[in-house]
Structure 1
Amino acid sequence: MQPGLRSGRLTKWKDERGFGFIQPIDGSQEVFLHISEVKDASRRPQENDTIYYHCVVDSDGKVRACNAFILGARNKSATLSNRANPSDTIVSSFPIVEVVLLSLLPLVGAIHFAWTTRNPLPLVLYPVMSLVTYALYADDKSRAKRKDWRTSEQILHLCELAGGWLGGFIAQRILRHKSQKESYQATFWVIVIIHYIAWLFWLFLGRTL
């Protein structure tokens, strides 16, 4: 054990906002935990997890955890540089093949729509909203590091639904943001499927309407 290392049970966890509270094993006052202080985790924290951590006291007298890890969910293969600050490390290159495959049907549909209706809106909307969504992901990750107020998941999903889902996908792969949360991923892929169904409907039935 490292000097000063403590343990406790995570009694409260607000995953969307990225923070919770640890009840120390000695029964003392609850300790605040922010997601940015969870190091080398193979998954996100969950209530009832056993957390090992160090304590620091802020200028306002509040006690918070730092350099924490989850018992049984520590990434053994993390490098020394990742241990120093894993949230700042980009662990994936641009997913070229996946982006090409995912964008193929929407691109064909958007080109066909623009050609037949003389309306280029989808061809403009997809890249613009993808850039907006990627920027929101990056800003939200930055806010998480600074422990600022987070961008709501509803706003991110609305941007994805409005055509920015491809930018969201790229951000998830490059920034490693929102890529491990199962409930978020479920909603994200439902949005992608909705877009696919809409384009399939247009390509096969749109011309007959």
Structure 2
Amino acid sequence: MKGKITEWNDSKGYGFISALNGNLRVFIHASSVKNSNHRPRLNDEVTFEVSEDNRGRFNAVDVTIEGKQAFPLTVLFGCSYLVFACAALIVFGRPLFIIPLYIGISLITYVMFSVDKKAAQTGQWRTPENSLHMLSLFGGWPGALFAQSQLRHKSKKQPFKAILWITIILNISAFLWTFTPSGITLIQRISSVFY
């Protein structure tokens, strides 16, 4: 069903959708929105399903905000970093094994976020947050940012978000360290094992 948000209280995260030419008024909560990079706003066009609660009130579920969505800045940051890292490795003649390492661990991290979200929804065994943070620390953080954006999983929970950003800063610092004399020596030793 299609409709338009005609009332919205952003601080409380709920409002109402007008549908069927104004003949249907449906309650919407921010948690019912899927695949959107922003919270609902007044006058947003939406598509949704209707459910009825135990008191006979209509609630919107599986809400999708229509129109062009802004590209998430966190995903843009992760992609930009990977481009920068690739360019730096090529320009400075460093071993290129770091590139597939970042991509591989990012894919694993994304999959782990997906598995954890499914486990959370079905009440099954969850992936420990420490495991997700370790993957991010070792280079999987671009996958973590993409998973947060696409899966809407662990995207609002604190202190998870704060710790994730600490792992990102530590990982980037470690990458930059590999361009120092002591970092170059270590990378050469690791490279000699593989080549």
TM-score range, shorter chain: 0.5 to 0.7
What residue number does 1:162 align with?
138
User: How far has the Cα of 1:125 moved from its partner?
Assistant: 1.1
User: How far has the Cα of 1:94 moved from its partner?
Assistant: 7.9
**Once the two structures are aligned, what percentage of the paired residues are identical?**
26
Query: Deviations along 1:125-172, whole A, 9 cap, x unmatched?
Result: 111111111111111111111111111101111111121101100111
User: How far has the Cα of 1:117 moved from its partner?
Assistant: 5.5
Q: Secondary structure at the match of 1:190?
A: helix
Conservation of the 8 A alpha-carbon contact between 2:138 and 2:171: no
What residue number does 1:195 align with?
171
Amino acid in structure 1 at the alignment position of 2:71: P
User: How far has the Cα of 1:183 moved from its partner?
Assistant: 0.8
Question: Which residue, out of 145, 149, 153, partners 1:177?
Answer: 153
Are 2:27 and 1:89 equivalent residues in the alignment?
no
Aligned-CA RMSD value: 3.3
Q: Secondary structure at the match of 2:153?
A: coil
Distance between the aligned counterparts of 1:94 and 1:167, measured in 2? 19
Q: How does 1:4-153 map onto structure 2 within 5 Å?
A: 74-77=12-15, 80=26, 86=32, 89-92=34-37, 95=71, 98-113=74-89, 116=92, 119-153=95-129
What residue number does 2:63 align with?
none
Distance between the aligned counterparts of 1:144 and 1:81, measured in 2? 25
Distance change (3 Å), C-alpha of 1:115 and 1:174: same
- Alignment length, in residue pairs? 137
Amino acid in structure 2 at the alignment position of 1:90: N
Conservation of the 8 A alpha-carbon contact between 1:94 and 1:174: no
Output the TM-score relative to the length of structure 2: 0.56
Q: Secondary structure at the match of 1:89?
A: coil
**Any gaps of 5 or more consecutive residues in structure 2?**
1-9, 18-25, 38-68, 186-195
Distance change (3 Å), C-alpha of 1:206 and 1:77: farther
Query: Deviations along 1:105-135, whole A, 9 cap, x unmatched?
Result: 4433344335655632211011111111111
Conservation of the 8 A alpha-carbon contact between 1:105 and 1:199: no
Conservation of the 8 A alpha-carbon contact between 1:140 and 1:150: yes
Larger RCO, structures 1/2 (Cα 8 Å, 6+ apart) = 1
